[in-house]
Amino acid sequence: MKPNTLGAALLGTTLAATGATAQDVTLTIESWRNDDLAIWQDQIIPAFEADNPGIKLRFTPSAPAEYNAVLNSKLDAGSAGDLITCRPFDASLALYEAGHLADLSDLSAMGDFPDVAKSAWQTDDGSATFCVPMASVIHGFIYNADAFAELGLEEPETVDEFFAVLDAIKEDGGYIPMAMGTNDQWEAATMGYNNIGPNYWKGEEGRKALIAGEQSLTDEPWVAPFRQLARWNEYLGFGYEAQTYPDSQNLFTLGRAAIYPAGSWEISGFNTQADFAMGAFPPPVPEAGQECHISDHTDIALGLNAASPNAEAARTFLNWVGSAEFASLYANALPGFFPLSSHDVQLEDPLAQEFVSWRQECASTIRSTYQILSRGTPNLENETWNASAQVIRGAESPEDAAARLQDGLASWYEPQQ
Amino acid sequence: MSERRPVRWHIVVFLAPAVIVYTAVMILPLFATLRLALFAEVEQTRVFVGLDNFRTLFGDPRWSASFWNALGNNFWFFAIHMAVQNPIGIALAAILSSPRLRFAHLYRSAIFVPTILSFVIVGFAWKLILSPIWGIAPNMLDAIGLQKLYAPWLGLESTSLTTLALISVWQFVGIPMMLIYAALLSIPDEILEAGECDGITGLSAFWKIKLPLILPSIGIISILTFVGNFNAFDLIYSAQGALAGPNFATDILGTFMYRTFFGFQLQLGDPHMGSAIATAMFGIILIGVCIYLFGIQTRLRRYQF
């Protein structure tokens, strides 16, 4: 009798489960953006479900640091959600090549994206696009505008002005000139090297030359950013070696530091935390009058799990993700994540407007280490974290760090050999 | 003719749950990992490559540099535990077992409590305590006029590993204390009294009578520390992240294996190389345990009371 009861109970739950899906298709979204949970649940999902009865959405994020590992295990086990949030470049390309992501080239919404926006989620020859681009992030410096007014400082435009401003803040002594630590390493590379670097290697020009093997990491344009980073440590707070990323954020939003090397994703957090006026300036150029370059990094996209049983519904949703409605909803709910589609989107947040206005003045590029160059072992991006942190700590000279990166890259990347 | 011995089914039945569970969750995964280390992924398919992964791990200058760095750090981590945790544990146990000590129960519990805390809590709490910005460590040193001694210990290459090892010692010092404490309590009073008649009292009673009698327990503690330290991962990961900064100064075999197996940031995971490292870890621990079992334990003299 006992086994029968158990069997009946199991059968009952199976029936109940299929009963629920028979009416509505529920799409599950895998993501690393657990900070966005409220925005998805309160704004994005209701907006989509109102227009598309019969399709329900579930947003199930995991922790950013674990996302890639968790997602890969889930895909291999066949338990991943229908929609996959795509990291840019090789992480997603590997998923596509392993057959986990479906080809979305024929999706009608794809026509609304410029080629550079799609480049992060395409095969090397550009023949297949497998994720719908959602947003990019722009690098620059956010500053405490009240502190600048108090000390009579202006936004620096050149590197010399930048260090003059830092010296003035240090002289005054009331603020830590710059909030950054080397404990977590990635800020040194992402908000340091790849923030200020494009002005030296001339954005796309240098990045493509590096990929083609025409320039090397030991060339002056690639060593110069390290030279600037090596000067930063005088302006960081006491004990910056053990300062973590959240420490830096808090130092700035508590008003104890004047300048924060930033990515635009900080905007919404800083808006709620800081009670002073904030401004932003793009990375200063080495020589006055030079053309400026910004890192406008394609960061996040949405793809379709090739094994999803609800592909039709998922495609409907992905088309909506490429629409003007989604772009405006997402960009304004998450100021600092800028839409990549060619739709004209109005941003309301002043700081976000400031960041996005640089697209008009400066040439955009993406982080130098992301496309192709981080495909092998040692991984250039991860090595750059270590090298940038080492240079800021003064533990390695800019030239040695660059030479080490070049050796590592040349050890597996043919065009650099 | 005597009746045939009945098959003693109850032995099989009683052993089965433990054997099945242990095989399923320990033995099979262990051999699966050892097997995985002999394969590699080429063009999306898994191919058998024999010992190639180990050749890469020990032969390639980059891989082997990371491996030897992690192994060296691991030995330092273990050395600090042996030099600090176990002597303090023994001393605490000796003090606690003194009949004249008041509030012994309170001390015993207080010292043991960190052992049951999660690594994540310990890592996070100590990171805050030692933080140059919000931590109480700089302020406390300031209060006694020693602020010059403060440094951002967790962020410096020279001190971070030792700091983390000492945090781990703080967390786990309760374990050797408890084991030695139990061993000390089991020493019969007659032996100590006999010693007293011969004029051996106080400290010399500890060195000459108690210590030789608890040596087997110290051996067990050493091997537990060895296995625990070479499997360590959690504390480093929760305090320094998978890159085990600064500049891999706190990288131990566990974090090296994790980073390789599951990947990190743009580095994709490589389960095959990861398994090769796991296999090397298994080998190191196996050798260590064998040295103890055959080299030390068999020579330890045991006393039956």
Distance CA A252, CA B22 (A): 52
pLDDT of residue B2: 58
Contacts of A232 by beta carbon, 8 Å cutoff, 6+ apart:
A178, A180, A192, A392
A86 membership: H or E segment, kind and range: strand A83-86
Interface of A with B in 203-242 (CB under 8 A): 237-242
Side chain identity, residue A388: S
Distance CA A417, CA B304 (A): 70
Q: Are B86 and B222 in contact (CB under 8 A)?
A: yes
Distance CA B141, CA B147 (A): 5
What is each CA distance from B59 to A135, B51, B56, B62, B66, in whole angstroms? Answer: 43, 12, 5, 9, 12
pLDDT in tens, B2-54: 567 888 889 999 999 999 999 999 999 999 999 999 999 887 788 899 899 99
For residue B263, the chain A residue with the least C-alpha distance is A69
A384 membership: H or E segment, kind and range: helix A380-393
Query: Across the interface, which of B44, B130, B242 has its CB nearest the CB of A242?
Result: B130
- What average pLDDT does range A304-331 have in this prediction? 92
Q: Are A297 and A367 in contact (CB under 8 A)?
A: yes
pLDDT of residue A19: 41
Single out the residue of A188, A139, A220 nearest to residue A384, CA to CA. A188
Cα Rg of chain A (Å, integer): 23
- What average pLDDT does range B276-297 have in this prediction? 92
- What average pLDDT does range B90-110 have in this prediction? 90
- What average pLDDT does range A236-244 have in this prediction? 92
- What average pLDDT does range A367-390 have in this prediction? 91
Side chain identity, residue B138: P
Distance from CA of A298 to the nearest CA of B (A): 14
For testing the chain A interface, which of B160, B259, B262, B267 should be mutated: the one with the most A CBs within 10 Å?
B267
Q: Is the pLDDT of residue A345 over 90?
A: no
For testing the chain B interface, which of A175, A182, A183, A386 should be mutated: the one with the most B CBs within 10 Å?
A183
CB-CB under 8 Å, B243 with A242 = no
- Percent of chain B, pLDDT > 70? 97
**pLDDT-derived band of residue B69, with 50, 70 and 90 as boundaries?**
very high
- What average pLDDT does range A286-310 have in this prediction? 92
pLDDT of residue B242: 87
Contacts of B293 by beta carbon, 8 Å cutoff, 6+ apart:
none
**pLDDT-derived band of residue B266, with 50, 70 and 90 as boundaries?**
confident
ipTM of the complex: 0.84
Q: Is the pLDDT of residue A7 over 90?
A: no
Burial of B48 (C-beta count, 10 Å sphere; 0-12/13-18/19+): exposed
pLDDT in tens, A53-81: 999 999 999 888 778 878 988 998 899 99
Answer whether A68 touches B (CB < 8 Å). Answer: yes
- Contact residues on chain A for B246, CB-CB shorter than 8 A: 182-183, 185, 241, 389-390, 393, 395
pLDDT in tens, B119-171: 999 999 999 999 998 889 988 898 898 888 888 999 999 999 999 999 999 99
Q: Is the pLDDT of residue B223 over 80?
A: yes
A28 membership: H or E segment, kind and range: strand A25-31
pLDDT in tens, A96-123: 998 999 999 999 999 888 887 888 999 9
Token code pair at residue A37: 């949970």
Q: A205 or B305: which carries more pLDDT confidence?
A: A205
Single out the residue of A375, A384, A391 nearest to residue A405, CA to CA. A384
Q: Which residues of A106-135 are buried (b: 16+ CB within 10 A; e: fewer)?
A: ebebbebbeebbbbbbbeeeeebbbbbbbb
Q: Are B223 and B289 in contact (CB under 8 A)?
A: yes
- Contact residues on chain B for A390, CB-CB shorter than 8 A: 246-247
- What average pLDDT does range B106-110 have in this prediction? 93
Distance CA A25, CA B292 (A): 60
Token code pair at residue A1: 């009798």
Q: Is the pLDDT of residue A201 over 50?
A: yes
Distance CA B126, CA B164 (A): 9
SS (H, E, C) B53-87: HHHHHHHCHHHHHHHHHHHHHHHHHHHHHHHHHHH
Structural domains of chain A sorted by starting position, each given as residue range(s) with its CATH number in brackets? 14-136+297-351 (3.40.190.10), 138-296+365-416 (3.40.190.10)
For testing the chain B interface, which of A62, A66, A67, A68 should be mutated: the one with the most B CBs within 10 Å?
A68
Average pLDDT, chain B: 90
Burial of B4 (C-beta count, 10 Å sphere; 0-12/13-18/19+): exposed
Q: B123 or B264: which carries more pLDDT confidence?
A: B123
Taking each helix axis from N to C end, the angle separating B271-290 and B211-230, rounded to the nearest 10 degrees, works out to 170
The number of residues in chain A equals 417
Answer whether A98 touches B (CB < 8 Å). Answer: yes
- Contact residues on chain A for B248, CB-CB shorter than 8 A: 386
Single out the residue of A334, A326, A325 nearest to residue A352, CA to CA. A334
CB-CB under 8 Å, B134 with A184 = no
Contacts of B90 by beta carbon, 8 Å cutoff, 6+ apart:
B176, B177, B180, B214, B218
- What average pLDDT does range A318-336 have in this prediction? 91
Structural domains of chain B sorted by starting position, each given as residue range(s) with its CATH number in brackets? 61-253 (1.10.3720.10)
pLDDT of residue A143: 97
Q: Is the pLDDT of residue A405 over 60?
A: yes
**pLDDT-derived band of residue B297, with 50, 70 and 90 as boundaries?**
confident
- Percent of chain A, pLDDT > 70? 94
CB-CB under 8 Å, A91 with B266 = yes
pLDDT in tens, A147-195: 999 999 999 999 999 999 999 999 999 999 999 999 999 999 999 999 9
